[in-house]
Structure 1
Amino acid sequence: MIDAHWHSILAAIPQLVAMTADAAYAHLVAAQEAQRTVLRGFTTVRDVGGPAFALKRVIDESRVAGPRIYPSGAMISQTSGHGDFRFRSDVPRTAQSDLSAAEKAGISAIADGADEVLRRVREQLMLGASQIKIMGGGGVASAFDPIDAIQFTEREMRAAVEAATDWGTYVCVHTYTSAGIKRALDSGVQCIEHGQLADEDAVKRMADAGAWWSIQPFLQDEDSNVYTAAEQVKNQGEIALGTVRAIEMGRQHKVKMALGTDILFNPAGTATQGKQLAKFARWYDNAEVLRLLTSGNAELLRLSGGRNPYPAKLGVIEADAYADLLVLDGNPLANIALIGDPERTMKLVMKDGVIHKNTIAA
């Protein structure tokens, strides 16, 4: 299976720890989580924010077990945007100011103006990004930016798209609202992350543009990321209602959909990765959920073009494809919940011909 929206470095560590601990600690925790990720049956992930380059390398070199990683590197954010993790006491920023903790760690990169966006995008491409992630609107996890805020001007977004296109790849954008989606599409962005507050016109625009819609089962239930601030809880509720409408409209207008989890700063939540994705059976039949999690998400990954770090076929069982195989105790076509209980149901996990788990004989 493939998770189209994952944070390899940030999923299994609390936000405060991610921003304050030694970088080596965060990466060691991430390596431990990577091993658990592949044992849950996820042999590939698209990492849409965080310094995952070193983790990708050690996994590719077979030094630790883990999924293939399509890294975005630092999330590119404007000042006050969804990737600006500074405190009020850290502003104003001047030419003599130090980088913020998140920027030093490679979690985010703050850029204002088209020239600065170009620089930050090119830095991530230099480090090996397979696609670029920019922040085009507010979010739930951040402290200061309202969820309805539109972030980055069209000129700034176009700078990111131009730099990525010149490098043979694409830009994905974090945004929830119709206005944010439309600005991103006008700027040439090819993949919308989230978009749960889209109206029908924005959904039609995505379909007409042939853009991808990377969506998550944000349902404000027992498996959701945990927030305590009143405004964050309120936003989370609005997005949960929007999730239902968004998926229904995406299906109706035949938008290219990709499925992911976006488990973030939630150590206890990572174990629910498969369980959360099984919830898409509310809108799709079981076979279609499995197709979207395999060959469907793989189609999105191919958008990286020349920057695709894994050029063989993914998400299919056929000649010349990567030899990824899951064997389950039961039939997921009849019971999709099986993918959400990997410790019990996944009897064999193979990635690229290497067996990571085999309890069939037992």
Structure 2
Amino acid sequence: MSTTPPANPRTIIRNVRVFDGVGPDVTENADVLIEGSHITAVSDSPVGDAPGTPTVEIDGKGGFVMPGMSDAHVHLMGNSNSYMDFIAGPTGILVGNTIAEAKRMLLRGFTTVRDMGGDTAPVKTLIDRGVFEGPRIFPSQAMISQTSGHGDFAFQYETPEVFGGSPSRTDSILFTRVADGPERVLTAVREQLRSGATQIKLTAGGGAASMYDPLSTLQFTPEELRAAVAAASDYGTYVATHVYTPHGIRRVLDAGVRSIEHGHLADEETIAYVAEKGAWLSMQPFAEEDHHYPDPNRAAKNREICDGTAEVYGWAAKHGVKTAWGTDLLLEPQSAARQSVMAARLGEFFTNAEALAMLTSGNAALFEMAGERNTYARAPLGVLQPGAWADLLLFDGDPLADLSVIADPEHNLQLIVKNGQVVKNTLPAATPAA
């Protein structure tokens, strides 16, 4: 089987309304020209034919066209497999479910994702080669945790590896890596970079899904955090940390961490400090129903996290914090499709134009911090303009007027193009130009 994607034709999408992923306005009655894997023209006058060049024309019927959406905090392996899959299933099942979810995620209109924990670099490679369909992936590889931290999935009866025990199941499949002390943290970071990470993910505080730690815990010492930041910086990239509380956020920022994952329990002073440091707030518009925790303790932690969402979003806007959007759905495959609902929920906290910009060019700006680790850097992501990657969506409906349009991709998302290739098209059949 060939691992080379099929040749991209010259494609013209005619008669569409174009949102470029940046500004609030649309270009009416536009044509979009795609040549190979890039957009080469967005014009409010008809794009002409190129004699002798095979061209596919698609009549957009006045539909709404925008860049492909992105998710800054996914767990492709984590949200396509259950907890039982992780602790008892064969690795082939884990990988197969991950590949299947990657395609479903693409069909929901997410053409780029940043994976924040899981061995997804091999999946990225296969998708980039055209072997499987899925989004572009910025992998973090294993999320790094201290012993008894948010990413420690070992059972209590298991002896930590540093005392002669075996790696936990999730460590052995590179979903997590437990590391204590600056030297082991250095090794863990370098291990992820060796295996294809574009950025590094540490868990620096408690969480709702954690087995052992309250939300209030501080995880990793300043020395350990600085070791991780130094190792990532030496490779031209950055560290992102799972953390919710003011003390935790300040500790990681002082160590040089550049992306705060979550932050729902922050106070206004801490959010202002995020802005002062020039860091990103990669947040999720959580609602209690996004995750299901039968255990009352975990359910209470989840409720506390969700209750902080609106205030933190407000303070982030007030202080001009660079804010990204993600989902962080985990270990509940039946909830994976809530990704689209959570994207539409941004409309509760931002204008529709602001939400769409965050889902496209905003997240893309965060991804660019991976520097030379970014294998897609030779063209812009998240914008619909000449020279950008040809990743775009056509909706039946106007998300600028009603953001709920994006919550139902099965019915409202008519055309998906990724890398110049048509992935989905429920419009009238494309016809070759004369």
TM-score normalised according to structure 2 size: 0.82
Cα deviation, 1:202-260, whole Å, max 9, x if unaligned, reads 10110000100000011213xx1111111111111111111111111111111000000
* Residues 1:279 and 2:345 aligned together: yes
Letter in 2 for 1:68: R
Cα distance, 1:95 vs structure 2: 4.3
The equivalences for 1:108-187 within 5 A come to 108-187=176-255
Match of 2:427 in 1: 360
Alpha-carbon distance in 1 for matches of 2:313, 2:162: 43
Match of 2:54 in 1: none
Query: Which structure's residues are more often helix, by fraction?
Result: 1
Alpha-carbon distance in 2 for matches of 1:7, 1:91: 27
2:391 to 324, 348, 351: 324
Alpha-carbon distance in 2 for matches of 1:87, 1:96: 15
1:349 to 416, 419, 422: 416
- Three-state SS of the structure 2 residue aligned to 1:80 is coil
1:340 to 399, 407, 414: 407
Match of 1:313 in 2: 380
Match of 1:237 in 2: 303
Greater shift, 163-172 or 240-249, is seen at: 240-249
Cα distance, 1:92 vs structure 2: 5.0
Letter in 2 for 1:168: G
Match of 2:312 in 1: 246
* Residues 1:265 and 2:345 aligned together: no
The equivalences for 1:204-243 within 5 A come to 204-221=272-289, 224-243=290-309
Match of 1:62 in 2: 130
- Three-state SS of the structure 1 residue aligned to 2:244 is strand
Alpha-carbon distance in 2 for matches of 1:15, 1:55: 20
Cα deviation, 1:161-204, whole Å, max 9, x if unaligned, reads 00000000000000010010000000000000001000111101
Alpha-carbon distance in 1 for matches of 2:326, 2:163: 38
Letter in 2 for 1:240: C
- Three-state SS of the structure 2 residue aligned to 1:204 is helix
Alpha-carbon distance in 1 for matches of 2:161, 2:360: 44
Alpha-carbon distance in 2 for matches of 1:123, 1:300: 23
Greater shift, 245-254 or 116-125, is seen at: 245-254
- Three-state SS of the structure 1 residue aligned to 2:329 is coil
- Three-state SS of the structure 2 residue aligned to 1:88 is coil
Alpha-carbon distance in 1 for matches of 2:162, 2:112: 40
Alpha-carbon distance in 1 for matches of 2:285, 2:213: 22
- Three-state SS of the structure 1 residue aligned to 2:276 is helix
* Residues 1:299 and 2:353 aligned together: no
Letter in 1 for 2:366: L
2:90 to 14, 22, 38: 22
Match of 2:110 in 1: 42
The CA RMSD measured in Å over matched residues stands at 1.0
Aligned residue pairs, count: 360
Cα distance, 1:91 vs structure 2: 3.0
8 Å Cα contact 2:159-2:165 kept in structure 1: no
Letter in 2 for 1:119: T
Cα distance, 1:16 vs structure 2: 2.1
Greater shift, 286-295 or 12-21, is seen at: 12-21
TM-score normalised according to structure 1 size: 0.98
8 Å Cα contact 2:199-2:238 kept in structure 1: yes
Match of 2:64 in 1: none
Cα distance, 1:19 vs structure 2: 2.3
Alpha-carbon distance in 2 for matches of 1:190, 1:110: 21
- Three-state SS of the structure 2 residue aligned to 1:355 is strand
- Three-state SS of the structure 2 residue aligned to 1:299 is helix
Match of 2:356 in 1: 290
8 Å Cα contact 2:160-2:167 kept in structure 1: no
Alpha-carbon distance in 1 for matches of 2:396, 2:200: 38
% same residue: 45
Alpha-carbon distance in 1 for matches of 2:181, 2:240: 18
Alpha-carbon distance in 1 for matches of 2:210, 2:320: 32
Alpha-carbon distance in 2 for matches of 1:271, 1:209: 35
8 Å Cα contact 2:239-2:259 kept in structure 1: yes
- Three-state SS of the structure 2 residue aligned to 1:264 is coil
Alpha-carbon distance in 2 for matches of 1:208, 1:57: 37
Match of 2:47 in 1: none
* Structure 1 unmatched runs, 5+: none
Alpha-carbon distance in 2 for matches of 1:101, 1:32: 22
Alpha-carbon distance in 2 for matches of 1:331, 1:14: 35
1:2 to 70, 82, 86: 70
Match of 2:6 in 1: none
Match of 2:37 in 1: none
Greater shift, 85-94 or 47-56, is seen at: 85-94
- Three-state SS of the structure 2 residue aligned to 1:320 is coil
- Three-state SS of the structure 2 residue aligned to 1:90 is coil
- Three-state SS of the structure 2 residue aligned to 1:66 is coil
